[in-house]
Structure 1
Amino acid sequence: MSDSWPRRRLLAILRGASEPLDAQELARITGQHVTTVRFHLDVLTRESLVRQFQQPPRGRGRPRIGYSAVQRSVGYQDLAQVLADQLGPDPRRRSEAAIAAGRAWGAKLDVDDHRIESLEDAKDVTMTLMSELGFAPERDSAAETAERVVIRLPACPLRELARTHSEVVCGVHLGLIEEVLDRSGARGEVDVQLYPFIEPELCMARLELVAARPPVDQDGATVPAAYDDDEMPPEPLIAPSGRVAPQLRNSDAHVAKQSAQQW
């Protein structure tokens, strides 16, 4: 996949579109000049990431060229399984190695020229990134506050592997998000947490201003002073200390869902 952030953004938009879009439409959506958009579309076409379609003209004139993302299934499931198995038996070390790998991945990506100056900016960058990865992210406005953003992730492309190796799969994705946000200007300002399988087919990401984070004890566990016992959110995969939190069982999903709605 291309390492250009503008091309990754175009690809994410095309993946989420219900029909082919032409260069003029994509230029309007992204705010880029149409000539720049056409250049990136040509690169994506050569890389076989998008496909061209002839569309009827608007009024008089030549037919338009529409673009649609090439839908590809994840073909590296077995390879990911082998790599996950090679990280050793210690869950914490597996998690730490996965986060480091995710950060290394994020370090190789180009980032948008727009710098993160607010939590809303961090949300936009994360939504674009997770859309590109195939998570079909959804903003959970009902769970938002001025210091916190919640993003629902209903379509993990490695869900089956994550059921048995969530500390690896989710750790890589966590490290990737953290690195991209850091490189975009959010270093030390936004805390990222992932909550795997709050429902059988749903995970969740939470972005929170660091100043708004609840205190932690000497073991890195969140001090639940701000919550009643029946309002505690589900524990994230990666706690602030880096320790691996217990994974949610599918039978606990309804409890986690109810808690998540109260964030």
Structure 2
Amino acid sequence: MDARKVTRPDPGGVPALNESRSHVLAALQEAARPLSAGEVAKRVRLHANTARFHLDALVEGGLAERNVEDREQPGRPRILYTARPGSAHTGRRSYRLLAEILAGSLAAETPQPAQAALRAGRAWGRYLADRPPPFRRLDADSATRQLVRMLDDIGFAPESTDDGRKVLLHHCPFRETAEEHQEVVCSIHLGLIQGLLAELGAPVEAERLDPFVEPGLCIAHLSPTTSPES
């Protein structure tokens, strides 16, 4: 997924960080020496490729530096990362108040807020999808993996069940707003899932989203579809 689709810099040039990227930056800030992507991955419990994705985004955003290891030993030098001076003062911004204002306004002033939120979520889900090349179909497993990656980038800590019929969302990055305006926020989340799967032309679709089945768990229910979109 294009990192620019999920995390964009603000007009001042400082990127707003999602939870995973904040943890990666914190690992660099706390380290007494430059770290490789593999070392960062172990510290924050991410796959090495995912850690490298976030590290490269931090470099692009000016919060970290990337250098080739200076070594005299045989073997290929490693790529090492360090936090840039001053990055410790650049934390993740909170948009909770803005989210509360917008969700509350939509709920109060829109005749059918859930449907409007669902449409908005679907539009963004389509935008966040990495469509396959023409004439290539993704199978259900591949589409679900891309869905899980997208949800993980946003901060949902998702987990697909072995049968591929559910995606467990262990963390809601908008929990406070969702508890206050569940009809709006959870409809947006369902729309994101539906829109991404539809854009992929996946043979799987999202039937529903069960919010807060436990205090820290929401469940998206998936089912096969016999007519994937072109």
What is the TM-score with the length of structure 2 in the denominator? 0.63
- Picking from 111, 134, 157, the partner of 1:136 is 157
1:64 pairs with 2:79: yes
Residue 106 (structure 1) shift: 2.7
Aligned CA distance change for structure 1 residues 201 and 43 (closer, same or farther; 3 Å)? closer
Residue 199 (structure 1) shift: 0.3
Residue 84 (structure 1) shift: 0.9
- Which residue matches 2:132? 113
Residue 149 (structure 1) shift: 2.1
The 3-state SS of whatever aligns with 1:185 is coil
Q: Distance in 1 between matches of 2:148 and 2:131?
A: 13
Which letter does structure 2 place at the counterpart of 1:98? A
Q: Distance in 2 between matches of 1:67 and 1:179?
A: 37
Please, what is the CA RMSD of the aligned residues?
4.2
Q: Distance in 2 between matches of 1:85 and 1:46?
A: 35
- Picking from 121, 129, 149, the partner of 2:165 is 149
Alignment of 1:18-37 (within 5 A): 21=37, 29=49
What is the TM-score with the length of structure 1 in the denominator? 0.56
Equivalent residues of 2:166, 2:219 under 8 A apart: yes
- Which residue matches 1:224? none
The 3-state SS of whatever aligns with 1:196 is strand
Which letter does structure 1 place at the counterpart of 2:183? E
Q: Distance in 1 between matches of 2:66 and 2:82?
A: 6
Q: Distance in 2 between matches of 1:150 and 1:42?
A: 31
Which letter does structure 1 place at the counterpart of 2:141? E
The answer for unaligned runs of 5 or more in structure 2 is 8-17, 28-34
Equivalent residues of 1:116, 1:185 under 8 A apart: yes
Equivalent residues of 2:166, 2:222 under 8 A apart: yes
Equivalent residues of 2:37, 2:55 under 8 A apart: no
Which letter does structure 2 place at the counterpart of 1:170? C
Aligned CA distance change for structure 1 residues 200 and 13 (closer, same or farther; 3 Å)? closer
Q: Percent identity?
A: 30
1:85 pairs with 2:104: yes
Which letter does structure 1 place at the counterpart of 2:4? S
Residue 89 (structure 1) shift: 4.1
Q: Count the aligned residue pairs.
A: 189
Equivalent residues of 1:150, 1:206 under 8 A apart: yes
Residue 209 (structure 1) shift: 0.8
- Which residue matches 1:184? 200
Equivalent residues of 2:129, 2:199 under 8 A apart: no
Equivalent residues of 1:192, 1:207 under 8 A apart: yes
Equivalent residues of 1:57, 1:64 under 8 A apart: no
Alignment of 1:29-48 (within 5 A): 29=49, 45-48=59-62
The answer for unaligned runs of 5 or more in structure 1 is 6-10, 31-36, 212-263
Aligned CA distance change for structure 1 residues 117 and 3 (closer, same or farther; 3 Å)? same
Q: Distance in 1 between matches of 2:167 and 2:150?
A: 12
Residue 161 (structure 1) shift: 1.1
The 3-state SS of whatever aligns with 1:135 is coil
